[in-house]
C-alpha cells in the first residue's frame, strides 16, 4: 500500500483509509473489530477515520473498546477524528436541534470527549467536520492552539470546507491545516470542478475522499445504471471489479486523494484497496464521468 506524506513529512497516511462511520451497523464484537483492524493493517491500511457524531456519538467508544483489548494497535495507527456537529440523540439530551458549533469551548470539549471515548492520549489528526456559518476563526485558532499545546492533537484539518473557508481558517493559524476531507466520487465531482481540489494541490495539501462509492448507492440505485454499465465494461478491459473501477476514478485525480473505504466487509475492503494498482487512461476516466453525469463534456 502506498503512503502519502503529510505535514512536511512528519506524518504519513496509508493511501487508502478505513472509515468507521458505519461501525455501529456492523454488529462486531470488540474482538471482531480487533481482527478487522489487524486485517486492514495486513493490507497496509494504517489510517482510521472517525467522528464524534458517528453512531449517534457512540462509534468512538466502540473503537476504544477494541483498542483497550489490543493496546498494541494504537501505535500502528494514525487516528483521525472530527468534531463540531451536534444533534439531538440519547447521548446529547440537552441538544434539541441539529447544528454546528465551532466555538472555542465547544471544540476543546469535543476533542477531549473523543480522546476519552477512544481511550487514547493524542489524536493524530482532528478535523472540523463541517463549515459553520457562525465560525469565528480566531476562536477556532485558539482552540487548536490549546489542544496542540496540551499534546491532545498533533495536527488539524477540516472537512467539507470550500477553498475560501479553508484559506480563511488557515490565515489565522500558526501551523498548516493538513487535509480537507471531501466527498469525491464519480457521482460527486463538485470539488473537481469548483476549484477546491486545485486550491489544495496548489498548496500541496492532500484531500481525504469520502463516499467514493456514493455511500453504496452506485451498486443499486437506478439513476446510476449507466455508470454501473460503463464501470463494468471498463472492468472487463482491466480485469477489475465495479467497486475497484470507481475507486480508481478517485485515485486517478492528480491531487493524490486518499479514499476512505466505508465497508465493514474485509473482502470488500481488500478488493477496494487493490484499486491503487489500477490505472485508468484518459478515455476510460472521461467515459465514467460522462456516464455518471449523463452528458458529454463540451
Ligand X SMILES: NC(=O)c1ccc[n+]([C@@H]2O[C@H](COP(=O)([O-])OP(=O)(O)OC[C@H]3O[C@@H](n4cnc5c(N)ncnc54)[C@H](OP(=O)(O)O)[C@@H]3O)[C@@H](O)[C@H]2O)c1
**Per CB under 6 A, 286 contacts ligand X:** no
**Among positions 6, 7, 15, 21, the unique one binding ligand X when judged by CB under 6 A:** 21
Shortest Cβ 293–ligand X spacing (Å): 18
**Among positions 159, 180, 191, 244, the unique one binding ligand X when judged by CB under 6 A:** 159
Full DSSP string of 52-67: TTHHHHTHHHHHHHHH
Distance separating alpha carbons of residues 74 and 63, to the nearest angstrom: 11
Shortest Cβ 100–ligand X spacing (Å): 12
Shortest Cβ 268–ligand X spacing (Å): 4
Q: Which stretch binds ligand X (CB under 6 A): 58-66, 90-98, 115-123, 255-263?
A: 255-263
Residue burial 44-83, b: 16+ Cβ < 10 Å; e: rest: ebbbbbbbbbbbebbbbbbbbbbbeebeebeeebbbbbbb
Residue nearest ligand X, Cβ-based: 262
**Among positions 29, 204, 223, 265, the unique one binding ligand X when judged by CB under 6 A:** 265
Distance separating alpha carbons of residues 111 and 147, to the nearest angstrom: 8
Local structure of 135: helix, strand or coil: coil
**Among positions 13, 14, 16, 19, the unique one binding ligand X when judged by CB under 6 A:** 19
**Per CB under 6 A, 211 contacts ligand X:** yes
**Per CB under 6 A, 215 contacts ligand X:** yes
**Per CB under 6 A, 32 contacts ligand X:** no
Half-sphere exposure (Cβ direction) of 67: Cα atoms closer than 13 Å: 20
- Residues 37 and 239 sit within 8 Å (Cβ to Cβ): no
**Per CB under 6 A, 216 contacts ligand X:** yes
- Residues 196 and 172 sit within 8 Å (Cβ to Cβ): no
Whether residue 100 lies in the annotated active site: no
Whole-Å CA distances, 73 to 46, 95, 265 = 10, 34, 20
Full DSSP string of 69-127: H-GGGGGG-EEEEEE-EE--BTTBTT--S-EE---HHHHHHHHHHHHHHHT-S-EEEEE
Q: Name the active-site residue from 54, 155, 199, 224.
A: 54
Q: Which stretch binds ligand X (CB under 6 A): 20-28, 30-38, 59-67, 144-152?
A: 20-28
Shortest Cβ 161–ligand X spacing (Å): 10
Q: Which residues bind ligand X (CB under 6 A)?
A: 19-22, 49, 159-160, 181, 210-216, 219, 243, 260, 262-265, 268
Could you list the active site residues? Answer: 54
Amino acid at each position: 500500500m502506498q503512503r502519502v506524506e503529510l505535514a512536511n513529512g512528519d506524518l504519513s497516511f496509508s493511501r487508502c483509509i478505513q472509515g468507521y462511520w458505519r461501525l455501529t451497523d456492523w454488529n462486531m464484537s470488540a474482538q471482531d473489530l480487533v481482527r478487522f483492524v489487524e486485517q486492514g493493517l495486513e493490507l497496509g491500511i494504517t489510517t482510521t477515520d472517525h467522528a464524534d457524531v458517528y453512531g449517534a456519538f457512540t462509534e468512538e467508544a466502540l473503537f476504544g473498546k477494541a483498542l483497550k483489548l489490543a493496546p498494541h494497535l494504537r501505535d500502528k495507527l494514525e487516528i483521525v477524528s472530527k468534531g463540531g456537529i451536534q444533534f439531538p440523540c440519547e447521548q446529547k439530551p440537552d441538544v434539541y436541534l441539529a447544528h454546528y458549533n465551532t466555538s472555542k469551548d465547544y471544540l476543546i470539549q469535543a476533542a477531549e470527549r473523543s480522546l476519552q471515548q477512544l481511550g487514547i492520549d493524542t489524536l493524530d489528526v482532528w478535523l472540523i467536520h463541517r463549515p459553520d456559518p457562525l465560525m469565528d476563526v480566531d476562536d477556532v485558532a485558539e482552540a487548536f492552539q490549546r489542544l496542540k499545546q496540551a499534546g491532545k492533537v498533533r495536527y488539524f484539518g477540516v472537512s467539507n470546507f470550500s477553498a475560501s473557508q479553508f484559506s480563511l481558517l488557515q490565515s489565522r493559524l500558526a501551523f498548516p491545516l493538513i487535509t480537507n476531507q471531501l466527498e469525491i466520487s464519480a457521482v460527486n465531482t463538485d470539488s473537481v470542478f469548483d476549484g477546491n481540489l486545485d486550491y489544495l494541490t496548489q498548496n500541496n495539501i492532500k484531500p481525504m475522499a469520502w463516499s467514493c462509492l456514493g455511500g453504496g448507492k452506485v451498486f443499486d440505485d437506478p439513476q446510476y445504471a449507466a455508470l454501473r454499465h460503463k464501470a463494468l465494461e471498463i472492468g472487463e478491459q482491466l480485469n477489475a471489479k465495479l467497486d475497484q473501477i470507481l475507486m480508481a476514478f478517485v485515485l486517478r485525480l492528480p491531487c493524490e486523494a486518499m479514499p476512505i473505504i466505508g465497508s465493514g466487509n474485509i473482502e470488500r475492503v481488500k478488493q477496494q484497496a487493490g484499486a491503487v494498482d489500477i490505472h485508468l487512461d484518459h478515455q476510460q476516466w472521461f467515459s465514467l464521468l460522462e456516464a455518471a453525469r449523463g452528458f458529454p463534456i463540451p
